[in-house]
Each structure stands twice: as C-alpha cells, then as structure tokens.
Amino acid sequence: MRRPPRDTEESARRITRRSLLAGAGMLGFMAVLGGRMRHMQVDQADAFRLLAEENRINIRLLPPARGLIFDRSGTLIAGNAQNYRVVVVREDAGEIEETMARLRALVPISDENSERAMKEIMRRSPFVPVTVADQLDWADVSEVAVNAPALPGVTPEVGLTRHYPLGSDFAHIVGYVGPVSDYDLSKIEDPEPVLQIPGFQIGKVGLEAKLEDDLRGEAGTKRIEVNAGGRVMRELSRQDGIAGRDVQLTIDHRLQNFTQARLGAESAASVVMDVRTGDLLAMASAPSFDPNKFVRGISVADYAMLTENDHRPLANKTVQGLYPPGSTFKMVTALAAIEAGVVTAGETIYCPGYKELGQRRFHCWKRGGHGWTDLHNSLKGSCDVYYYELAERVGIEKISAMARKLGIGVRHDLPMSAVAEGIAPTKQYKRERHGQEWLVGDSLNASIGQGYVLASPLQLAVMAARLATGEGIKPRLVKSVNGVEQPVETDGPLGLGPTTLQQVRSGMYGVMNERGGTAYGSRIVADDMQLCGKTGTSQVRSVVVRNADVPWEERDHALFVCFAPADNPRIAVSVIVEHGGGGSAVAAPVARDIMLSALHDGGIPPLDAYPSSQRRQQEDLFSSLLIRRPGGATPPSEKA
C-alpha cells in the first residue's frame, strides 16, 4: 500500500491525537474504578466486613443444665440423666432405607417415628444430622456402637434429660418437665431463644413449672463457621451456659416415701409439717404416677389410664383437693366462741342427739346424744350439738375469721400448681356466690365443718401446727435456692389466750388418749410421743346410711388432724382418705403411722409405740408396704 507522505503524516497526527484522547478516557475510567474500590474497601469496609461475618458465622445455643432438686437431707429428687439418642447423616449413610432397617433391628423405633425421621432426613440437606431415636438406654446405644461398621452415617449422641430417681414419690410436688410446646410459647410474652432449642425441656407442672426461672439457667453459645451451603466448617468459640440454680426442699425423702406407701392405692392425701419452722416434711397425694413417663413422652394409652381413673392420680390433692373438713373444724368453732366470750371451757351444754332450729332438726352423729357436755368432752366425743349451740351464739363471721387465722380459707403461697384457697364462708360470701342471705342453719352446718366450709389437706396441717404452737407459722416447701436458705415465715403469734389453747389441746389429747375418745384406738402408748388429734367424717351425701352399703364415690371422706408429742409438739399431720368412711376408723390409724415415722426421721415406726394388742397387725402392715430400701431399686409404681 502506498500512501502520499502528506497523508501519512496527517494519519499519524490524527492517530496520535485520538489515541491520547482514547487513552485518557481509559485511564479516566480506571480512576473511577479505583475510586469505587476505595469507597467500598475503605469507606464502607466496616459495613461489608460485618456482612461477611454475618454470612459465615452462625450462633448456636447450648442448652444449660437444669438446676437439681434435693430433699432436705441432700438426696437427689430431680436430676439430669444422660440421654442417648441416635442421629443419622444422610450423605454418610449410603443406602438410607437399608441402614434404617438395620438400625431398627437393633433399637426400638416405632413405625410412626421411623416415618417421621425418614421424612426429615429426605427434607434436610444431606449433611444435617437428624435424630431418629431418642431417650434410649445405654444397652441400645452399645448395640449401635458395636455394629457401627454396618451402620454408616449413624452416630450415637449423648445429651441431658430430666430424670426423677425417686419416681412416683415426688410426682405431685416436683411435677415434671417436657419439651416446649407451641402452646407454651404462645403463653410467653417474649420467649427466650433458648426455648427454641429442639427438645429443650421446661417445667410443665408443680415445682418444675413454678421455679422454672430458677431451675432453667442461661443458655451458652457456640459460634460456628458455616459455608454457603450451611455446612458447619468449624467451631470458632464456645461460651458454656450457666447451669440452673439448685433447689433444696424441706421434704424428707424417706418420710415422703413412707407416707406415699402408707396411703397406698387409696384416693388419699397427707401433709406432714414441722410445727416450729413450717417445713413441709412430706406431702403425699395418692395414687401417684411416674413423672419419668411424661419426660419421655407418655403414650396415649398410659395417659388415658391416668386421666380416666376415678382416683385422679394426676391431681395433687394435698393443695388442690378441697374437702369439707367435718369435725376437724370443731377446734375453730370452739376457739372462736371462747375468744368471743360466749362460752367457757367449763360450761356444759346438753346434747339430746339433735338441736332444733325453727322447723328443722340438726342431728348429732350420736343418735342417743352426749348428754351434758363441756368443751373437753365435746372434742373427745365429737359432739355436734355442742357446736351447733356455739355457732348460734357466736355467729359465722367470728368462726370464719378464726378459720382464716388458723390457715383455712387462705391461700398458702407454695411453689406448686393450682394451690387452692379453700372457703371460710361469710355472709358476704354466700350473698356474692349464691345470691342468698346467710341463714343460722348455715352457721350450724359450718360449725361442724360441713356446708360451705372447704379446706385442703395442707390447710388442715397448718391448722394443726398453729393449734400446737399458737404461732401463725407458714408452710415452707423450699429450704434453699442455690444454697441460699429461704426464710422461715410466720404471721406472728395468733393472739389466742394460752389457757384457751391449752383447753382445746386438752380436748384433742382426750380424743386420742382417753377411753371414749373417738380415736382412742389409734393412740400412741410411748410416753414421749403421745398424740393430740381430731377425727373428722365429712358427708358426701345428706342421708345417713352405713358406708359399707353405698358405692365408693358416695361414701364419706375420712379425715384426721393431729400433732405430737402432746407435751412438746414437733410434728403436725393431716390425712384425708376420700370416700374412706369414718375418720376414726380409716384416717386416724394412717395419721398415727405417718406421725411415728416422722418422729423417727422417716423410718419404720417402732412397734413398741403401739398398744400391745395392735403390734402384730402393724408389723404385718409394715412388711407389706412398698418401702424403698436405702440405695435400692425403685419399687414398682403404684397401680393407678
């Protein structure tokens, strides 16, 4: 190609000019790129660095160990057991169906669970471990470990789960834990993230629920690095959680065990209280159940057995059960009347077997009547007419005020579910609740613990303790939290005249220890352990028929309250046997055995404390009881 030199020069000049422009443009754009880079990497570096960290770092919660629960002597009641489970990682498992089939041959996995697990495995990323079997025992896990070569991708893991070594003895007091349900979450305003941990357990009922905040502890965290696919690459740091606070109860596990065993299969409840401190030494509600079943996830059949049972094993009768206290209420009426000055201990009132009020006749339980009766004999023989008279004189307001002073109709603040307030009725109460005016007949019924009066076994025990001491002692269930002793609380002296109290106690002494006393048959002969008590038989229906002739659910409740030793009270006991019949025949012997056990630190009562004629029979009874031997295996749980 030939080109005139002039053109060549013109071409070169033009190219040079345009090249410079193009080059400047390119460099200019590179400056823009550099500026953009500087803006992102220097000015916005922190923001982007944060985003990068958010990308790669996941924070996982570590469940805290739940606080332990001990009895007053330091014996474990609720602990954390190793929970073995088996997880499967799909990408390591090879033929997943085959592996699952082999696994199921080794450990028990229900069809339902197996199906759920398979679905989960297929749904999640192949590297995510999925739990296929939970709550396994060591033997199952050993099987899996031994057969590991045949089970690729299957790993046994260990976690913590709640365990109640004393089984049914503490089912009602401690309650149980369970996995957090959607319902639980809906109740909580601002759920802690720890509750979202799969399988995390929270208290469902009883102490476990009421002291949840103390027992739960705080979750730890673990920072892990994940890649874009979510696979965990490594653990960056770990901060272990803070374990929940340990709780020590005032309950004596041996006495609790004895009490529970003594109540047996009856629908019954008993509360044992230290009268000086208010410490609850035993609170037994029978029949009981095994709380461990709930932790594991109770089967529908087992649950139905508990809910459909007419003895209501799930109810904690000690604080939730409300019963007409019957004649055990008579001390309240007596104190109200004497304190009001409408009667003296020495005054006698004639009992012909009934009291007429207008057109109505109020019967005494003893058809023939008690004749002339003073305070002492009215308690000893449980004369109803004497109290009808007192009620007429003193009026319901003073009786119910005295009831509340002694702990009936007052909600005792214990960390238990649904603690009942009971009823110490007043005129206002009836007006508001039933829309009717109070009648004198209502006062007469209330004076012997019938009618509107309702009390729980706990309240009856508190009443016995307050009668024994004259102090407004309050029940205490939690001895210490995290080693910090909880205060002994009292409402202070009841302000009852010491002689008045002494006169009532004397009547209660007579009930037990004098011939003709309603519970003379349940006396204790050992000098330093003599009982003061009061029987009660509260009517479930109005017509008087022999208890043996009516169906169980229509029979009378048998009640008994007592304290001992008579001269220097230490222990108060209340017992109620639902539909048990008479208080003296059914409740008093139970209360005596429990009292003797309590006076002997929860051991088997000494036979020489019983009248010699009863020793043989007691010996047979004790040997038949399902008592836990120290360090021994859990006895089979009571038949519900």
558, 532 contact by CB (below 8 A): no
Strand partners, 130: 88
Question: Which of 38/639 has CB closer to another protein?
Answer: 38
Question: Which of 59/242 has CB closer to another protein?
Answer: 59
Cis peptide before 565 (omega within 30 of 0): yes
Q: How far apart are CA 602 and CA 421, in angstroms?
A: 29
Give the pair of three-digit tokens for residue 283: 């609170």
- Tell whether residue 33 is a contact of another protein (CB under 8 A): yes
- Tell whether residue 234 is a contact of another protein (CB under 8 A): no
> Which is catalytic among the residues 288, 327, 400, 597?
327
556, 539 contact by CB (below 8 A): yes
- Tell whether residue 28 is a contact of another protein (CB under 8 A): no
CB of 88 to another protein, least distance (A): 25
Q: Which of 156, 217, 233, 324 binds another protein (CB under 8 A)?
A: 233
Q: Which of 55, 110, 239, 307 binds another protein (CB under 8 A)?
A: 55
DSSP state of 455: B
Strands (E), 511-568: 532-538, 557-564
Q: How far apart are CA 280 and CA 149, in angstroms?
A: 55
Rg (CA), the chain: 37
Q: How far apart are CA 101 and CA 98, in angstroms?
A: 5
Question: Which of 53/98 has CB closer to another protein?
Answer: 53
CB of 101 to another protein, least distance (A): 35
By rule CB under 8 A, what count of residues binds another protein? 47
Judged by CB under 8 A, the stretch of 10-18, 266-274, 323-331, 577-585 that binds another protein is 10-18
Q: Which parts of 167-226 interact with another protein (CB under 8 A)?
A: 225-226
Question: Which of 49/411 has CB closer to another protein?
Answer: 49
Give the pair of three-digit tokens for residue 168: 């049914």
- Tell whether residue 236 is a contact of another protein (CB under 8 A): no
Cβ-proximal residues to 93 (8 Å cutoff; 6+ apart), any chain: 99, 152, 153, 154
Q: How far apart are CA 350 and CA 354, in angstroms?
A: 10
- Tell whether residue 40 is a contact of another protein (CB under 8 A): yes
CA diameter of the chain: 156
Question: Which of 10/240 has CB closer to another protein?
Answer: 10
CB of 225 to another protein, least distance (A): 7
- Tell whether residue 127 is a contact of another protein (CB under 8 A): no
Question: Which of 44/299 has CB closer to another protein?
Answer: 44
User: What amino acid is encoded at 475 in this protein?
Assistant: P
CB of 234 to another protein, least distance (A): 11
Q: Which parts of 461-490 interact with another protein (CB under 8 A)?
A: none
- Tell whether residue 122 is a contact of another protein (CB under 8 A): no
- Tell whether residue 304 is a contact of another protein (CB under 8 A): no
- Tell whether residue 59 is a contact of another protein (CB under 8 A): no
DSSP state of 264: T
CB of 126 to another protein, least distance (A): 16
271, 459 contact by CB (below 8 A): no
- Tell whether residue 48 is a contact of another protein (CB under 8 A): yes
Ramachandran area for residue 315 (φ above 0: left; ψ -120 to 50: alpha; else beta): beta
Strand pairing of 571-577 and 557-564?
antiparallel
Strand pairing of 247-249 and 69-70?
parallel
Active site residue 125: no
Give the pair of three-digit tokens for residue 145: 């470990």
CB of 127 to another protein, least distance (A): 13
Q: How far apart are CA 482 and CA 67, in angstroms?
A: 9
CB of 213 to another protein, least distance (A): 39
For residue 617, count CB atoms less than 10 angstroms from its CB and return exposed for 0-12, middle for 13-18, buried for 19 or more.
exposed
Interface map 305-344 toward another protein (x if CB under 8 A): ----------------------------------------
Judged by CB under 8 A, the stretch of 14-22, 237-245, 366-374, 377-385 that binds another protein is 14-22
Q: Which of 12, 146, 265, 545 binds another protein (CB under 8 A)?
A: 12
Q: Which parts of 435-454 interact with another protein (CB under 8 A)?
A: none
Strand partners, 484: 481
Q: How far apart are CA 84 and CA 139, in angstroms?
A: 10
What are the Cα distances from residue 403, in Å, to 37, 323, 335, 409?
84, 14, 9, 7
Question: Which of 18/639 has CB closer to another protein?
Answer: 18
Q: Which of 56, 102, 223, 296 binds another protein (CB under 8 A)?
A: 56
Q: Which of 44, 110, 348, 617 binds another protein (CB under 8 A)?
A: 44
Q: Which residues are catalytic?
A: 327
The binding site for another protein (CB under 8 A) comprises 1-3, 5, 7-12, 14-16, 18-23, 26-27, 29-30, 33-34, 36-38, 40-42, 44-45, 47-49, 51-53, 55-56, 225-229, 233
